[in-house]
Chains A and B, each alone.
Chain A
Amino acid sequence: MELVNPGIGLVFWMLLAFGVVLFVLRKFAWPAIMQALKEREQHIEEALHAADIAREEMKKLKLDNEELLRQAKEERDQMMADAKKVRDKLLDEARQRGTEEADRIVASARERMENERMAAITEMKNQIAEMSIEVAERILREKIQTPKDHESFIEKVLREKQHLS
């Protein structure tokens, strides 16, 4: 029965045909196909990996940004607080200095007034003294007119002086 008894012709042609198909595909088709598939798979793998890395980095960047923002805010707050402190201090200082200045002015005015009063008093004293001396001189000149009187008076003064010392 032919069904289970193949002829030599078909065996020969099959050997040839399949051999040719195998040779041609092995040489010209499969290397290109396998290579391209492999390349694409690698490419996709790499792309996915890169995307993962990028996503990770984005997350980190976002975190960094948030951190930066937070820091900036903090810094701003700090600066504002500092500025306020400085302002307060300046104000305080200014106020204090103003008070001091005012005090100083008042004090110096008071001092000057005192000085002038003292000067006036001294002047007054001097004038009183001069006037007293003049009065005394006149009195003396009225009393002591002769040399004898003169001498006795000197003697009397000296004695008093001696007595005193």
Chain B
Amino acid sequence: MKVIDIKRFRILLLITFVSLISFSPRVYAAGGHGEEGFNAGEMIISHIVDAYEWHILSIGHTHVSIPLPVILYDEGQWHVFSSSKFHHGTESYKGYELATEGALKGKIVRKAADGSYIRPYDFSITKNVLGLFIASALVIFIFLYIARMYRVTRRHAPRGFQAIMEPLIIFIRDEVIKASIGEKYYERFAPYLLTLFFFIFFNNLMGLIPIFPFGANLTGNLAVTGILALFTFLTIVIRANKNYWAHIFNTPGVPWWLKFPLPLMPIIELVGMFIKPFVLMVRLFANITAGHIIILGFISLIFVFGQSNVFAGFGISILSVVLAIFMNFVELLVAFIQAFVFTLLSAMYIGSAVEEHHHEDHAHAAEHH
């Protein structure tokens, strides 16, 4: 008991310390380059978008950050160099620089002759990309480890980390995949959907940890959620049976004049096919981003108040930190719920794509009576 208490105390201490060093100076540094004042909006956006270096903390004007490799493809040529060459955006290198204003602000651009920005194909290992690699490696490592544990324990009770993950795996398998796709086909899609769930879930959680090597806002990025939605979309398109296509192009139970001469229903169904993954993409992105913005907003309050009066800043910090901690707990819940919802909806879409014919007939008969 005593040992656990001490351990808990240490963890608490660590959390307190880490939150001290990771919140306060960093926020100032990120938001208030120079002494022109604190801009909460800018600070928040800079925390949820991508970057060419992994900023860890700043003390005064000393920035501690990890420079990341820049990979560009421009005018038929590959350019690979370190992002430290930009000196935090203050210098240009090989004619490339970080845009300081406009729609491309913060991105690597090349200035054209007329002064406009030209964006090269940018395959840089950015903060998000590195975070993605770390998250992917972690997910692969964890599940290969668990798979090995399963080979060892076989019919016996799960142990250690395996026992933590097992209820989740079984929950997703039984309540999401089996329930949505059905006993007959669920095994075919289980690997994809389980991977999807845990990938999103781990990335959501890692996005909440504010220190390196975590804290990349991946599931709050449209590229990431878009690719995930694309995988679901492709799975549906590739695996859909002929009933699904018939349902789209010749919807049963609908009056003929809705299909001919103006194919109203097919158009609606076809658009719906694309809207489904699009909504998946936006929902995850919006939820995670909103959560991050709220937490960062609460923290910003400290500095907004602190600008007018240092003591007001300290005073509001109590409320802000309490609210931010509360939001963090809510975000833990959201991390699970959004991973769950994404997986559940993917499973339901896939389920409807591989459904046997007679179910559809029944559904439509019920709908149109």
Contact = CB atoms under 8 A, between A and B. Distances in A.
B129 to A, nearest CB: 5
Given A21-B199, A25-B191, A29-B143, A7 B103 contact: no
Given A21-B199, A33-B169, A14 B227 contact: yes
Interface string B252-268: 00000000000000000
Interface in A82-129: none
Contacts of A29: 140, 143-144, 146-147
Contact of A11 (B125, B154, B190, B223): B223
B296 to A, nearest CB: 13
A89 to B, nearest CB: 68
A126 to B, nearest CB: 119
Contacts, number: 129
A147 interface: no
Chain A contact residues: over half helix, strand or loop, or mixed? helix
Most chain B C-beta atoms within 10 Å of own C-beta, residue among A8, A20, A36, A43: A36
Contacts of A7: 50, 107, 122, 223
A40 interface: yes
Interface in B144-158: 144, 146-148, 150-151, 153-156
A1 B103 contact: yes
Given A8-B121, A30-B191, A21 B136 contact: yes
Interface string A117-143: 000000000000000000000000000
15 contacts: A3-B49, A7-B50, A7-B122, A8-B122, A10-B126, A10-B224, A14-B223, A15-B227, A20-B136, A25-B143, A28-B147, A31-B191, A33-B150, A37-B169, A40-B154
B66 to A, nearest CB: 17
A151 B42 CA distance: 200
Contact of A13 (B45, B129, B153, B156): B129
Nearest to B166: A37
B155 A2 contact: no
B338 interface: no
Contacts of A20: 136, 140
Interface in B121-180: 121-126, 128-129, 132-133, 136, 139-140, 143-144, 146-148, 150-151, 153-156, 166, 169-170, 173
A17 B131 CA distance: 11
Q: Interface residues of A toward B: which range?
A: 35 or more
Contacts of A1: 103
A40 B123 contact: no
B43 interface: no
A3 B195 CA distance: 26
Contacts of B231: 18, 22
B226 A6 contact: yes
Contact of A17 (B132, B173, B187): B132
Interface in A1-58: 1-15, 17-18, 20-22, 24-26, 28-37, 39-40, 43
B210 interface: no
Nearest to A20: B136
B155 A8 contact: no
A20 to B, nearest CB: 7
Nearest to A8: B121
A94 B147 CA distance: 90
Contacts of A8: 121-123
Contacts of B187: 34
A6 B223 contact: yes
B105 interface: yes
B326 interface: no
A25 B140 contact: yes
B208 interface: no
Contacts of B49: 2-3
A21 B169 contact: no
A32 B143 CA distance: 10
